Amino acid sequence: MEVIRKNFKEALPLVAASVKKADFLVIDTEFTGIINGRDVSMFDTPEEYYKCTQKGSSEFLLIQFGLCAFHWNHKEKHYMNDAYNFYLFPRGSPGPDRMFMCQSSSLDFLASQGFDFNKLIKDGISYMTVPIECKLRENLTERQKTYSKGKDSIKVPDEHKAYVEDICNQVHQFLEEGQLDEMEIDKCNSFVRLLLFQELRARFKDKILVETKILENKNRLLNVKRVKSQDDLKNHDALKKEREWEDFEDAVGFSKVARMISESEKLVVGHNMLLDVMHTLNHFFQPLPAEYTQFKEFTHCMFPHILDTKYMSSLPPFKDKVNSSILKHLLATLSAAPFSLPKVVSDEGRGYSQLHEKHHEAGYDAYVTGLCFLAMHSHLANMRGDDTTRFLSITSPLIKPFLNKVFLSRTAHQDSPFINLAGPEPLPPRDHVFHLAFPREWQRNEITQLFSPFGPITVQFIDDTSAFVALARREQATSVSKALAKHSKITLTSYYKYKKINDTPSSKTATKTAEVANDCKKTEKTPVRTSALQINATGTTPVNKVIIPEKVPRDRSNSVSPITPPRKRTFSTSSGGFEVNELESPTKKLKDASETKKRIDEKIIDRFDSEAKPACVTVFKDDDCWD
């Protein structure tokens, strides 16, 4: 079901009913861009990954939200889907006038998938965060109190006096003649309207009501209405206030749906869902914290049960059978033996079937993600000898290994770190990774040749003269360091050392402190990560945090670490919803990558065809499908 602002009010109770009866919910979103600034790296830790994504993506807008609620048909023993595809556009007034970023390649991609931008801007549903909502609610309440008070006046400038007099005479005549109930005053700019508003109110007081009227084409008129009784005046004020509150509720708009999902505490499924979750929190709840641990707590508090089908498909028993976990490919894989898709139907006009084939429409992608989840869930159940296709409970042991773990795109070839929202997560070692500075004329060939005695490598270019190089034969790390230490044309630095020097948030002032902090812990074998160096809200006092990676098993299937329950913070106030944390001012949050919504592997072609170095940095950025 497509939901736009015209049918939002009617859809809201339907959505509530769907959420209520659902066994689980699936979400998917579309935004105006993916990443601004530095891209994620395949060597990032989960924390680095989050910070990079938070910094690089928060200024983009969420423009489509797909919600697919799966509920069980007891009689027919299969799932039904209620699907909603919401177009979202937070237009100004009474909400705030939003400034937001777009990425041209993202819009280009969405357009090629049939995304309707005219519908978006004309008919999109508004939304706002909780802090903004509270602020505006307060403002409106305050403003309405002043309605009964008198207004003061602005002097009419000489050049407008004649015109104002003329209009006043016209209104006088309109009142005298008493034939019409309304008259309109056109063709004046806002200043003249202001003058007229004031003069007419002063001269004709309780005899007329003066209002600005906005036409369909945004032209403005002054509308003058004859007052027939004193009740007219009273009703007018009451009606006006009521209308303002209605408009305000419309502006809060979609946020209500997001909060409904949160309050249900049901399992929320997504595919490659980090960005979906981040944008959902950032746009409908409150700005994301810069701190990684705060983000995990906040997310876990708002959505206590999350499952990422991309993460699920990347673990045994699916890993070896899934050639590509791009959503469309995953669906194809799960449609054939040894898997099978469950029967899922919908009431007429209320959900999708596979025939719709609306890939990259958020609602459809949510539906497909739900199918994938059910197929994988059934497969696991079958392996245990169960033949139910129903997902019964969030405490089911079948989903436990996957619960609250979020996939991190593009890190797969480097031990696939993931985010564990419900506890700490392992940090994959980076002892086999080096930062390499090389001559400008070098291409990939020269680098491969340099490392050839040590086996195959993975190269991630940073710019024209530097790259990260990872060894496939990790045990060669020490030999590499020794052998290339004195090489005349290149400089090789261990990854940890390089990060230590470079990962200071505001490099110049903070570097020194960072070095001091790091020196305390420096050993070659127990690498110290300094990426958590932070600047407080005023940007002046660096706070040091030194995190030492735990020793972790390399096999991801073993990585289900013991869950430490996070400190639950209270997000609730009398005004409903939850407490507004005074986080730092909304900082720029940026980038990530997920192949389904987030395209732009266009430039990979340059690489296939030319393998040219100048394009490599961009190339890495764009090939979302490296997993």
197 binds a second copy (CB under 8 A): yes
CA distance from start to end of the chain: 32
| Min dist. Cβ of residue 201 to a second copy (A) | 9
8 binds a second copy (CB under 8 A): no
Residue 574's contacts (CB-CB under 8 Å, 6 or more residues apart) are: none
Alpha-carbon distance 408 to 416, whole Å?
Answer: 7
Label residue 274 exposed, middle or buried (CB < 10 Å: 0-12, 13-18, 19+).
buried
Q: Which of 36, 54, 409, 460 is the binder for a second copy (CB under 8 A)?
A: 36
456 binds a second copy (CB under 8 A): yes
| Min dist. Cβ of residue 607 to a second copy (A) | 7
92 binds a second copy (CB under 8 A): yes
Q: Which of 78, 329, 379, 497 is the binder for a second copy (CB under 8 A)?
A: 329
In the 3-class helix/strand/coil scheme, how is 181-250 assigned residue by residue?
CEEEECCCCHHHHHHHHHHHHHHHHHHEEEEEEECCCCCEEEEEEECCCHHHHHHHHHHHHHHHHHHHHH
Distance from the Cα of residue 518 to its chain's centroid = 34
- Residue 363: left if φ>0, alpha if ψ -120 to 50, beta else—which one? alpha
| Min dist. Cβ of residue 324 to a second copy (A) | 4
Give one DSSP letter per residue of 432-498, joined into a string: TEEEEE--TT--HHHHHHHHGGG--EEEEEEETTEEEEEESSGGGHHHHHHHHTT-SS-EEEEHHHH
The tokens 């697919």 sit on which residue?
68
440 binds a second copy (CB under 8 A): no
Q: Which of 10, 13, 75, 99 is the binder for a second copy (CB under 8 A)?
A: 99
220 binds a second copy (CB under 8 A): yes
| Min dist. Cβ of residue 301 to a second copy (A) | 29
Alpha-carbon distance 360 to 416, whole Å?
Answer: 25
Alpha-carbon distance 364 to 344, whole Å?
Answer: 13
**Please, which of residues 150-169 interact with a second copy by CB under 8 A?**
150-155, 157, 159-160, 163
Q: Which of 42, 188, 258, 288 is the binder for a second copy (CB under 8 A)?
A: 188
Other residues' Cβ atoms within 10 Å of the Cβ of residue 624? 22
Q: Which part of the chain contacts a second copy (CB under 8 A), choosing from 80-88, 216-224, 309-317, 569-577? A: 216-224
Judged by CB, which is closer to a second copy: 321, or 522?
321
Q: Which part of the chain contacts a second copy (CB under 8 A), choosing from 427-435, 443-451, 484-492, 573-581? A: 443-451
In the 3-class helix/strand/coil scheme, how is 586-602 assigned residue by residue?
CCCCECCCCCCCCCCHH
Judged by CB, which is closer to a second copy: 388, or 455?
455
Task: Specify the amino acid at residue 204.
Answer: F
List the x/- string, 280-299, binding to a second copy by CB under 8 A. --------------------
**Please, which of residues 333-372 interact with a second copy by CB under 8 A?**
359
The tokens 């007081």 sit on which residue?
205
332 binds a second copy (CB under 8 A): yes
| Min dist. Cβ of residue 95 to a second copy (A) | 8
| Min dist. Cβ of residue 296 to a second copy (A) | 28
Q: Assess contact for 255 and 127: CB atoms under 8 A.
A: yes
How many residues bind a second copy (CB under 8 A)? The answer is 104
**Please, which of residues 527-586 interact with a second copy by CB under 8 A?**
none
187 binds a second copy (CB under 8 A): yes
Tokens for 618, please give them. 């961009």
| Min dist. Cβ of residue 107 to a second copy (A) | 5
List the x/- string, 373-412, binding to a second copy by CB under 8 A. ----------------------------------------
| Min dist. Cβ of residue 275 to a second copy (A) | 16
**Please, which of residues 581-620 interact with a second copy by CB under 8 A?**
595, 599-612, 614-615, 618
Judged by CB, which is closer to a second copy: 243, or 569?
243
623 binds a second copy (CB under 8 A): yes
List the x/- string, 102-141, binding to a second copy by CB under 8 A. xxxx-xxxxxxx--xxx-xxx----------------x--
Residue 584's contacts (CB-CB under 8 Å, 6 or more residues apart) are: 289, 290, 537
Q: Assess contact for 297 and 569: CB atoms under 8 A.
A: yes
Q: Assess contact for 4 and 119: CB atoms under 8 A.
A: yes
| Min dist. Cβ of residue 222 to a second copy (A) | 9
